[in-house]
Amino acid sequence: MYWTLELASKLEDAPWPATKDELIEWCLRTGVTSEVIENLRELEDEEEIYEKIEDIWPEYPTKEDFFFNEDEY
């Protein structure tokens, strides 16, 4: 399983919280790339509920990681 920023960003609009099967079903319905679906299928726990993308890929960058101050613009 490998994640890139591009692949993980496909899950930003996913219906969180969700189980592995719910995420895969959502990906299939919305036409998310097969690489994302393959990565989700490799997750071990079938019944675990994921609250956000960081539960799947802990290194997923947050807004704070980009050092962007929205108040300045």
Residue-wise pLDDT tens digits, 14-39: 999 999 999 999 999 999 999 999 99
pLDDT value of position 66: 53
Residue 73 lies in a domain: no
Residue 30 lies in a domain: yes
Domains identified in the chain, total number: 1
Asked whether residue 71 carries a pLDDT value surpassing 70, the answer given is no
Residue 41 lies in a domain: yes
Residue 63 lies in a domain: no
Residue-wise pLDDT tens digits, 1-18: 788 888 988 998 999 999
Structural domain harbouring 46: 13-52
Asked whether residue 72 carries a pLDDT value surpassing 70, the answer given is no
Give burial (CB, 10 Å; 0-12/13-18/19+) of 43.
Answer: middle
Neighbours of 57 (CB within 10 A): 18
pLDDT value of position 73: 56
